[in-house]
Structure 1
Amino acid sequence: MTNNVDMFNRSTNAVNFGVNRKQAESIIERFLDNENYRVLAVKGKWGVGKTHLVRNLLDNQRKNDYLYASIFGISSIEHLKARIFANYQKNQLKPIQNVVEFLNRNSVRLEKPQKLDFELSGEKPQKLDFGLSGSLLTIGGDLLLEILFNLNVNGKSIICIDDLERKSQLPLKDIFGFVEYLVQDLKCKIILIYNEDELEKDSQTALETYREKVIDKEFNLNPTVEENLDFIFKDSSDMDVIKEVFKKAGTNNIRVIRKTKWLIDEFIPLMQDWEESLRHQIIRNIMVINIAKLDTEFSKRFSIDGIDP
């Protein structure tokens, strides 16, 4: 079996095979500890747990060093900057408040300002609300980002940019340009999270054009069924039959697993006094129907006839 060192040292274009959760955590940890690597791409199909894995690891190991922003619905780099800023978690807010006051003072002088409001999270959440023109928003966003990372005195700032395939009209090449700015000017490490299979044609082209220039390391997360089942069905008395069906179906989509659990939980109280064999028969049938309905990859991998009810 390929070891973690071999996987991490392969060229970026070669690392397209799937790795399980344990291997993925090892790769991310090595990326964070290696000063030479600045941009990591975490790829995988929807629902396999990419975001959960990355954020859980960073929460446990680098909680005060990272910011997270989903690009879902974002149509400009300025709005991405604002979303990164809105996820700032620390209490060192005075320098940031000074920039906000500057924006408030100057935005009234400019025509047709854009409305931008968001809440700073922390011990005392603060609602910030101001109108900005495009140029002022650009200046303000850059100032805010520089302040954020100057406050991070250990020089280990990390930004997670998620859902690249769900962006709205924002060209992928612009996102890569912004990533280069964060890496070169603000000395950040970047973790990009996306489903490469769902990127539109123009984005696929941009990815192939800029991949070697921007992305230092990448891997495709493909956890085992057992790994993702452990999140949802840890204490189930029917775990054996549940695992059997999911393994045969090849379903490791956490959202499908979670929704299947909700459905089983609705039926369990009605089957408390039933024979175990009959209860398991019902559970199998429920699972097959639900997986076939929810897992869009199911029909490609396995026919319903292939799972014995």
Structure 2
Amino acid sequence: MNEDSVKTMVRDYLEDTDKYAFMIEGAWGSGKTHFVEHGLRDAAEGYRIVRVSLFGTSSASDLYDRLYLGIINEYASGGEGEGRKAIVAEFARDAGLSFLGGVAKKAKKELGISYEIGTKALAEFLLGSSMLLVFDDLERCLISERELFGIVDSLVNGKSRKVILVSNEAHRESDQDDANSHKALMEKLVWRRCTYEPPMEEIVGNMIGAELSSIDPSAEKVFLKALANAKCTNIRTVKRLRRLMGDLGKTDFFMNPADRSIRMSVFQDVCSFSIRAAEGYFPQPSDVTPADPADIVSSMESAHRADSYRRYESLAFIRAHFEWHQKLDGNQMESCLGSYREAYYPESEKVRDAVEWMDRWKSLMFRNDDVPAMIACFKKAINPQDGSLGLPFERYGELLRIVKSIGEAFPDIHDGSLKDFTQYMKEAIRRNPDKAMASVCSNPFDWQDRRFASPPIPGLEPLEEIDELRDFAMKLSLEDTVDSLNRSLRDDPDSFTMQYYSVLEKERIDIERMAIVLAGVEEAALASAMPSMRPESLRKLHEVFNANGMAGAFASRTLSEGSCKRLSRWAKKLAELTKIESSEEYAVRKYLGYLKNDLYDLAESMHSGTD
């Protein structure tokens, strides 16, 4: 029921001479309290509205304390500071509270009788006929329902006051016994009720309209559509999304005026996932249940859930912000949005055709005669010869599984071999190993990356070809990294040390890769450069080679025998080449001595690790 309809029902209730309570119900976060505080006054002209939150109320005296304070606050509304105090004082005189206080003091002085006026008596004394009581958060009240409804009944029938109850009834009705008791109490006291439905268009415009307009003039419409699809009417969810929407509007991705329709498609997906995340739902691999091969619907649903999980994982900033409570990172957002667009809304016509065929295969929307063209299209999309971008690395695993399933379904058309496809994919990876490696890091499930202690997606059979492609990408990326470090060492030794430290820190997740980077630096070049480095740079190297620094990671974790031998030989050779006397600077010589000892210790520890 919309806001105007609720107001009409409230007016009818206030004009009714019968004695009963009125209920406004609705889901958590639907704006019931906001309506009471801002919209109800239009329907309750001539009444003073006293709202009392029952959240955490544990006793009748607690409830009356809140009611009394609510009455005082309502009478004192509009005043501030000393003016507010004056209003309260005047109210006390008008209500006779000063007189009652005086009588109590006189009785104590002349008769020795001590009498304190309780808040229940005060609240009931102050309840005028022009007061409308609103008890909010009914479902969060800790008083027994029978006692609570007894208090409401005394106000409605005993004091002839109008009372509105605000509740999330869907949450209250838990087990059958409670439901029957609740129904009996409601039947006696609550004669009329309505369900409040918030005006989401108005709320979104007021709360985050400015943030959405910074993304695109059509962003608010897209956001409202995503809310409707998610059946979300929770105002707090909208509030939680304000910062994300504001930061999205600052990204180059959305500030770029080109291809607005595609960018709005990406934005719609971002909205869908972020709304669920703001509500506390975070997709997990376990959500992707294995498909029943004999059930077409089951297979399609499983494929849809797997695709949904892949997409959510690609938008890593959503999980980082809502699940891990990390500050939004503009660079991460920019990277994720760009990669997501390439993967799911590609520019290349060949890739778009391939993606369409992939979707048609998963949804069984093709004919047998289409299969040869489908396979040919997949091959062309991996390595387009027209200079356009090929199929994004993020979708390699998905494509290989589809090709394998084609071979199983149509062995006369395709033998199921993935050799040609993996070869095409390697050629694409060779052209851009860093981007391929970035895809591996951001999509560990699809790439079967066992460096991460994460469970595989159920129902997805591991493929050797994916392992082969991942290792190939990691190898090429590692070679590029080491080459870059050696170039930096030759060109600018002092900046090299920071780059060296940064790369090693990044690779700590994989001890084998870390060892390759560490020992990949040319020993002679490093030994020759160290005497001319600044003390600050040498200290950074000391943090790398010392057993209490990065090198300590090799002692605390298992390293393969081959890596131990290679690292031991490298450290020993570098130590032998390091000449302490090659510098006249005292601090430099001291650090060279420390480094020489560090390297011998590292060589010895790695040598003992092979015994």
Q: How does the TM-score come out when normalised to structure 2?
A: 0.37
| Structure 2 counterpart of 1:130 | none
Letter in 2 for 1:93: A
**Counterpart residue number, 1:93:** 92
Matching residue within 55, 63, 66 for 1:72: 55
Question: How far apart in 2 are the matches of 1:103 and 1:279?
Answer: 73
CA deviation string 1:194-239 (max 9, x = no partner): 1112125465343212111111211122346435434434453321
Deviates more, 1:244-253 or 1:223-232: 223-232
Residue equivalent to 2:131: 157
> How far off is 1:67 after superposition?
0.8
Aligned to 2:594: none
SS of match in other structure, 2:23: strand
TM value normalised by structure 1? 0.70
Residue 263 of structure 2 is aligned to residue 285 of structure 1: no
Q: Which structure: greater helix fraction? A: 2
The one-letter amino acid of 1:283's match is: F
1:191 aligns with 164
Aligned to 1:222: 197
Equivalent residues in 2 for 1:143-292 (5 A)? 143-149=121-127, 152=128, 155-168=129-142, 170-199=143-172, 200-201=174-175, 203-223=178-198, 225-226=200-201, 228-234=203-209, 236=213, 237=217, 238-271=219-252, 273-275=255-257, 276-277=260-261, 279-292=263-276
Letter of the aligned partner of 1:191 in structure 2?
I
**Counterpart residue type for residue 262 of structure 1:** R
Distance 1:242 1:75, change over 3 A: same
Decide whether aligned partners of structure 1 residues 230 and 290 sit closer, same or farther in structure 2, where only a CA change above 3 A counts.
Answer: same
Match of 2:249, SS state, is helix
Are residues 101 and 66 of structure 1, via their aligned partners in 2, closer, same or farther at CA, if it must alter by over 3 Å?
Answer: farther
When Rg is computed on C-alpha atoms for both structures, the one with the higher figure is: 2
Unaligned runs of 5+ in 2: 76-86, 108-114, 284-304, 312-343, 346-611
Change in CA separation of 1:84 and 1:228 when aligned onto 2, cut-off 3 Å:
same
**Deviation, structure 1 residue 187:** 1.6
Task: State the AA in 1 paired with 2:138.
Answer: L
Matched, 1:52 2:30: no
Task: State the Cα distance separating 1:278 from its structure 2 match.
Answer: 5.4
Note the aligned Cα RMSD (angstroms).
3.4
For 2:34, the aligned partner's letter is: H
Does the 8 Å contact 1:225/1:250 carry over to 2? no
Q: Is the partner of 2:28 in helix, strand or coil?
A: coil
Separation in structure 2 between the aligned mates of residue 282 and residue 194 of structure 1, nearest angstrom: 37
CA contact (8 A) 2:249 2:255 kept: no
Q: Distance in 2 between matches of 1:297 and 1:214?
A: 37
SS of the aligned residue for 2:194 comes to strand
Q: Provide the C-alpha distance between the structure 2 equivalents of 1:35 and 1:59, rounded to a whole number of angstroms.
A: 20
Aligned to 1:289, the other structure's residue is in SS state helix
Question: Matched residue pairs, number?
Answer: 254
- 1:162, distance to aligned residue in structure 2 (A): 0.8
Return 5+ residue gaps in structure 1 as ranges. 1-18, 107-135
Question: Conserved in 2, the CA contact under 8 Å of 1:228 and 1:254?
Answer: yes
Q: Which has the higher contact order (CA 8 A, sep 6+)?
A: 1
User: Is 95-104 or 220-229 further displaced after alignment?
Assistant: 95-104
